[in-house]
Amino acid sequence: MTLRIAEIFGPTIQGEGALIGEPTVFIRAGGCDYRCSWCDSLHAVDSSYRHDWMVMTPEAIWQEVRRLSGGRPLTISISGGNPAIQDFAPVIAMGKAEGYRFACETQGSIARPWFSALDTLVLSPKPPSSGESVDWAGFGRCLTAAEACPNVMMKIVIFDDEDYLWARAVAGKFPDLPLYLQPGNPEVDPDRPVDLQACTDRLLWLIEKVTGDGWFAPRVLPQLHVLVWGNKRGV
Amino acid sequence: MTLRIAEIFGPTIQGEGALIGEPTVFIRAGGCDYRCSWCDSLHAVDSSYRHDWMVMTPEAIWQEVRRLSGGRPLTISISGGNPAIQDFAPVIAMGKAEGYRFACETQGSIARPWFSALDTLVLSPKPPSSGESVDWAGFGRCLTAAEACPNVMMKIVIFDDEDYLWARAVAGKFPDLPLYLQPGNPEVDPDRPVDLQACTDRLLWLIEKVTGDGWFAPRVLPQLHVLVWGNKRGV
**B76-127 pLDDT per residue, tens:** 999 999 999 999 999 999 999 999 999 999 999 999 999 999 999 999 999 9
Say if B117 falls within a structural domain: yes
- What does the alpha-carbon distance between residue A184 and residue A197 come to, in Å, rounded to a whole number? 14
- What does the alpha-carbon distance between residue B9 and residue B130 come to, in Å, rounded to a whole number? 26
* CB contact A178 to B (< 8 Å): no
* pLDDT (0 to 100) of residue B77: 98
Instruction: Say whether pLDDT at B56 is over 90.
Output: yes
**Cβ burial B48-85 (10 Å sphere, 16+ → b, else e):** ebeeebeebebebbbebbbebbeeeebbbbbbbbbbbb
Say if A52 falls within a structural domain: yes
Q: Do A227 and B222 touch (CB under 8 A)?
A: yes
Question: Which residue from B minimizes the CA distance to A15?
Answer: B221
Distance from CA of A164 to the nearest CA of B (A): 16
Peptide bond into B113 cis (omega under 30): no
Say if B212 falls within a structural domain: yes
Mean pLDDT, to the nearest integer, of B154-165? 98
Picking from B11, B180, B34, the residue whose alpha carbon sits closest to that of residue B107 is B34
Name the burial class of residue B150, with classes exposed (0-12), middle (13-18) and buried (19+) by CB atoms within 10 angstroms of its CB. exposed
- Best of A153, A216, A221 to mutate (most B CBs within 10 Å, chain B): A216
Helix (H) or strand (E) segment spanning residue A224: helix A224-229
Looking at the DSSP bridge assignments, the partners of residue A232 are none
Instruction: Say whether pLDDT at B221 is over 90.
Output: yes
- What does the alpha-carbon distance between residue A46 and residue A6 come to, in Å, rounded to a whole number? 11
Under the banding of pLDDT at 50, 70 and 90, the label for residue B189 is confident
Under the banding of pLDDT at 50, 70 and 90, the label for residue A133 is very high
* CB contact A153 to B (< 8 Å): no
Greatest CA span in chain B, whole angstroms? 51
Say if B63 falls within a structural domain: yes
Q: Is A47 annotated as a binding residue?
A: no
Q: What count of other Cβ atoms lies within 10 Å of the Cβ of residue A210? A: 25
* pLDDT (0 to 100) of residue B102: 98
| Residues of chain A found within 8 Å of residue B219, distances taken between Cβ atoms | 13, 20-23
* pLDDT (0 to 100) of residue B187: 84
Q: Do A228 and B204 touch (CB under 8 A)?
A: yes
Could you tell me if B228 and A200 are in contact, meaning their C-beta atoms sit under 8 angstroms apart? Answer: yes
Q: What count of other Cβ atoms lies within 10 Å of the Cβ of residue B128? A: 14
- What does the alpha-carbon distance between residue A154 and residue A173 come to, in Å, rounded to a whole number? 12
Distance from CA of B47 to the nearest CA of A (A): 32
Binding residue numbers of B: 13-15, 28, 32, 36, 38-41, 79, 81, 124-126
Q: Do B13 and A73 touch (CB under 8 A)?
A: no
Please name the member of B11, B20, B216 whose beta carbon is closest to the beta carbon of A74.
B216
**What is the total count of domains within chain A?**
1
pTM for the predicted model, two decimal places:
0.96
**How many interchain CB pairs under 8 A, A with B?**
97
User: Three-class SS of residue B12?
Assistant: strand
Instruction: Say whether pLDDT at A190 is over 90.
Output: no
Kindly list the distances between the CA atom of residue A216 and the CA atoms of A31, A56, A70, A120, in Å, as whole numbers in the listed order.
Answer: 35, 43, 40, 22
Say if A235 falls within a structural domain: no
* CB contact A84 to B (< 8 Å): no
Question: What CATH number is associated with residue B65?
Answer: 3.20.20.70
* pLDDT (0 to 100) of residue A35: 94
Q: What count of other Cβ atoms lies within 10 Å of the Cβ of residue A148? A: 10
**Cβ burial A42-78 (10 Å sphere, 16+ → b, else e):** bbbbeeebeeebeebebebbbebbbebbeeeebbbbb
* pLDDT (0 to 100) of residue A161: 98
* pLDDT (0 to 100) of residue B226: 94
* CB contact B211 to A (< 8 Å): yes
Q: What count of other Cβ atoms lies within 10 Å of the Cβ of residue A235? A: 17
Q: Do B215 and A10 touch (CB under 8 A)?
A: no
- What does the alpha-carbon distance between residue A62 and residue B42 come to, in Å, rounded to a whole number? 50
- What does the alpha-carbon distance between residue B41 and residue A201 come to, in Å, rounded to a whole number? 24
Under the banding of pLDDT at 50, 70 and 90, the label for residue A16 is very high
- What does the alpha-carbon distance between residue B224 and residue A231 come to, in Å, rounded to a whole number? 19
| Residues of chain B found within 8 Å of residue A227, distances taken between Cβ atoms | 200, 203, 222, 227
Helix (H) or strand (E) segment spanning residue A59: helix A58-68
Could you tell me if A232 and A193 are in contact, meaning their C-beta atoms sit under 8 angstroms apart? Answer: no
Picking from A184, A150, A152, the residue whose alpha carbon sits closest to that of residue A167 is A184
| Residue B180, phi then psi, degrees to nearest 5 | -120, 130
* CB contact B58 to A (< 8 Å): no
Could you tell me if A220 and A230 are in contact, meaning their C-beta atoms sit under 8 angstroms apart? Answer: no
Could you tell me if B176 and B154 are in contact, meaning their C-beta atoms sit under 8 angstroms apart? Answer: no
ipTM field: 0.95
* pLDDT (0 to 100) of residue A157: 98
Say if B234 falls within a structural domain: no
Looking at the DSSP bridge assignments, the partners of residue A56 are A3
| Residues of chain B found within 8 Å of residue A72, distances taken between Cβ atoms | 214, 216
Say if B235 falls within a structural domain: no
User: Three-class SS of residue B4?
Assistant: strand
* CB contact A121 to B (< 8 Å): no
Q: What percent of chain A has pLDDT over 90?
A: 91
Instruction: Say whether pLDDT at A231 is over 90.
Output: no
Could you tell me if A30 and A61 are in contact, meaning their C-beta atoms sit under 8 angstroms apart? Answer: no
Domain residues for the domain of A151 are 3-229
Distance from CA of A14 to the nearest CA of B (A): 9
Say if A151 falls within a structural domain: yes
Could you tell me if A63 and A19 are in contact, meaning their C-beta atoms sit under 8 angstroms apart? Answer: no
Mean pLDDT, rounded, of chain A: 96
> DSSP letter at B98?
T
Instruction: Say whether pLDDT at B235 is over 90.
Output: no
* CB contact A175 to B (< 8 Å): no
**Ordered alpha helix ranges (H), chain B:** 58-68, 89-97, 136-145, 161-173, 196-212, 224-229
Question: Which residue from A minimizes the CA distance to B178?
Answer: A22
Distance from CA of A88 to the nearest CA of B (A): 23
Number of helices and strands in chain B (H, E): 6, 9
